[in-house]
């Protein structure tokens, strides 16, 4: 029988399915449901800075941190999810399950990242995922200045925690190879390709704007996993558009250690985990692979080059222009 266990940032997982950060993982009940469905690990719903700071903090010490955002969260009931409750939730979850629990944090003020990271480590989280994002709006600020923020945040956190730390990236970064290599040099343990966002839309009847749910892009993620796996000293977790076992296998062939799944769980339920894992096991048996490690990264750029195939089977990751491929 195929062994589906994998290792992600040093965390041992019984299989490569991680329940991605979302409403599915924002409560003890949610975590236990994911566990019962058979996932290999969970990433908790992101905790936003505004959820962790108390009113006193906001008005005394960090009065520059959007008090209106705090009010908004409080009105929406989101402050219920913080802060002691979250730490207790992690503690209870750790007593009831042994799958890795990764806490996801999102801060706006540089000073608060390491403080919160340390608190989640103390609460018993097995790892951290940094949900870093700032929309580049300023006309005078270069891409590298924005990207430096990733490094500064990671370095400040690595100074204070010993649990593994992953950075969840967005696809708008100009040179992913350069930034990911620098993150790896700064001690990053895992990279998550890519984050998902709300997208804007326009209402023609009311002449107003609204948000629609974004979608993870399977092929874009596959390209970057394959181009970077093994070339940077970090594990990679794919997040975006994985809907079945075949999709999961493709990401592992490209070099991912595990995949993060969200939308398909919302659409079809956590029972999909079993189907995805059955598909994985059946394929591994057919191909006579006994472990994930035997085929992880087989179709990454690095492995194709190492096996003296030049670009070998990895050509398609580069071809982004239509030119001949789809000529009529």
Ligand X SMILES: Cc1cc2nc3c(=O)[nH]c(=O)nc-3n(C[C@H](O)[C@H](O)[C@H](O)COP(=O)(O)O)c2cc1C
Residues that bind ligand X (CB under 6 A): 20-23, 45-46, 104, 131, 168, 195-196, 216, 239-242, 260-264
DSSP 126: S
Supply the minimum distance, in Å, between the C-beta of residue 232 and ligand X: 20
Q: Toward ligand X, which CB reaches closer, 196 or 317?
A: 196
Cβ 323 to ligand X shortest distance, Å: 29
Phi, psi at 214, each rounded to 5° = -80, 170
* Cα distance between residue 150 and residue 166, in whole Å: 11
Torsion of CA 42, 6, 191, 113, to 10 degrees: 50
**Cβ 288 to ligand X shortest distance, Å:** 29
Residues 6+ away with beta carbon under 8 Å from 110? 149, 152, 153, 156
∠243-193-179 over CA atoms, to 5°?
Answer: 170
Residue 21 or residue 257: which is nearer to ligand X going by CB?
A: 21
Tokens of 195: 């984050």
Closest residue to ligand X: CB criterion: 216
Cβ distance to ligand X smaller for residue 241 or 297: 241
Which residue, 127 or 216, has its beta carbon nearer to ligand X? 216
Residues 105 and 119 sit within 8 Å (Cβ to Cβ): no
Pick left, alpha or beta for residue 260 (phi over 0 → left; psi -120 to 50 → alpha; otherwise beta).
Answer: beta
CB of 43 to ligand X, least distance (A): 7
Nearer to ligand X, 132 or 314 (CB): 132
Q: Which is nearer to ligand X, 21 or 121 (CB)?
A: 21
Q: How far is the CB of 75 from ligand X (least distance, A)?
A: 19
Structure tokens at 205: 């009847």
Ramachandran sector of residue 208 (left: φ over 0; alpha: ψ -120 to 50; beta: rest): beta
> Least distance from C-beta 106 to ligand X, angstroms?
7
């Amino acid at each position: 029988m195929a062994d589906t266990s994998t290792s992600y940032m040093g965390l041992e997982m019984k299989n490569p399915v991680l329940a991605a950060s979302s409403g599915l993982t924002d409560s003890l009940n949610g975590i236990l449901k994911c566990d019962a469905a058979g996932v290999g690990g969970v990433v908790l719903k992101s905790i936003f800075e505004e959820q962790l700071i108390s009113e006193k903090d906001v008005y005394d010490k960090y009065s520059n941190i959007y008090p209106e955002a705090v009010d908004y969260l409080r009105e929406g009931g989101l402050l219920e999810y913080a802060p002691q409750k979250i730490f207790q939730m992690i503690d209870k979850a750790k007593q009831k399950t042994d799958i890795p629990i990764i806490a996801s944090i999102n801060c706006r003020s540089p000073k608060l990242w390491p403080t919160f990271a340390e608190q989640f480590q103390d609460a018993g989280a097995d790892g951290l995922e940094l949900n870093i994002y700032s929309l580049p709006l300023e006309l005078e600020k270069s891409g590298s200045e924005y990207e430096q923020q990733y490094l500064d945040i990671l370095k400040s956190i690595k100074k204070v925690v010993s649990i593994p730390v992953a950075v969840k990236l967005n696809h708008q970064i100009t040179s992913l190879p350069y930034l990911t290599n620098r993150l790896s040099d700064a001690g990053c343990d895992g990279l998550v390709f890519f984050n998902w966002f709300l997208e804007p839309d326009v209402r023609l009847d009311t002449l107003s704007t609204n948000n629609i749910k974004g979608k993870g892009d399977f092929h874009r993620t596959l390209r970057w996993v394959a181009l970077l796996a093994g070339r940077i000293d970090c594990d990679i977790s794919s997040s975006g558009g994985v809907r079945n076992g075949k999709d999961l296998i493709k990401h592992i062939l490209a070099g991912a250690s595990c995949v993060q799944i969200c939308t398909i769980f919302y659409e079809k339920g956590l029972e999909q985990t079993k189907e995805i894992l059955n598909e994985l096991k059946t394929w591994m048996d057919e191909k006579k692979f006994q472990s994930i490690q035997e085929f992880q990264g087989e179709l990454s750029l690095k492995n194709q080059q190492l096996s003296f195939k030049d670009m070998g089977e990895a050509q398609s990751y580069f071809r982004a222009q239509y030119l001949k491929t789809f000529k009529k």
